């Protein structure tokens, strides 16, 4: 009986209570980067098109499962989310699930950080994760 209790205790620890998302793999050289803006760009009025570059992978819309593809995510004024789960969708985490490589942004005056994080059909980052450097843009007060 004692052994059974131990086994049950072990199994309980080993079986995760939450479902862990399946991560897609990415080629080692894959890279996402900002074509524009560049780090430190001053953007009068705060409205602009951000343009995303991608190397060694392809774009596929969300929901379309295909090896070495995914879609862009823009992380605005936030740290990178966990890599082993679905990227949240809110004002700090913008999904380009239709497969776009550019997005219109409107930021209030101040300093803002932007970072790209590529993710698969389920919005889960790849393994290894493919993300850009974090850049800062400055929107001057009128």
Question: Whole-number minimum distance, CB 8 to Cu ion, in Å?
Answer: 39
Q: Which residue's CB is nearer to Cu ion, number 119 or number 139?
A: 119
Q: Looking at beta carbons only, is 95 or 139 nearer to Cu ion?
A: 95
Nearer to Cu ion, 118 or 139 (CB): 118
What's the min distance (Å) between Cβ of 42 and Cu ion? Answer: 29
Collapsing DSSP to helix, strand or coil, 15 comes out as coil
**What binding mask, one character per residue, do residues 91-110 give for Cu ion by CB under 5 A, x or -?**
----x-x-------------
Work out which of 32, 48, 75, 123 binds Cu ion, going by CB under 5 A: 123
Spatial distance between the Cα atoms of 38 and 57, rounded to a whole number of angstroms: 22
**Any contact of residue 72 with Cu ion (CB under 5 A)?**
no
Closest residue by Cα to residue 123 from 78, 80, 83: 83
Is the distance from CB of 128 to CB of 120 less than 8 angstroms?
A: no
Tokens of 65: 């499962």
Looking at residue 93, what DSSP letter applies?
E
Minimum Å distance from CB 75 to Cu ion? 12
Contact 75, 117 (CB under 8 A): yes
Binding residues (CB under 5 A) for Cu ion: these are 95, 97, 123
């Amino acid at each position: 009986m004692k052994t059974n209790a131990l086994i049950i205790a072990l199994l309980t620890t080993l079986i995760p209570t939450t479902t862990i998302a399946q991560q897609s793999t990415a080629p080692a050289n894959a890279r996402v980067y900002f074509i524009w803006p560049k780090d430190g760009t001053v953007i009068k009025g705060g409205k602009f098109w951000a343009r995303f570059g991608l190397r060694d992978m392809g774009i596929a819309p969300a929901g379309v499962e295909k090896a070495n593809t995914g879609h862009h995510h823009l992380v605005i004024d936030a740290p990178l989310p966990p890599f082993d789960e679905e990227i949240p969708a809110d004002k700090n985490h913008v999904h380009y699930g239709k497969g776009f490589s550019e997005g219109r942004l409107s930021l209030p005056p101040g300093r803002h950080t932007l970072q790209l994080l590529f993710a698969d059909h389920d919005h889960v980052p790849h393994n290894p994760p493919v993300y850009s450097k974090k850049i800062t843009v400055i929107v001057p007060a009128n």
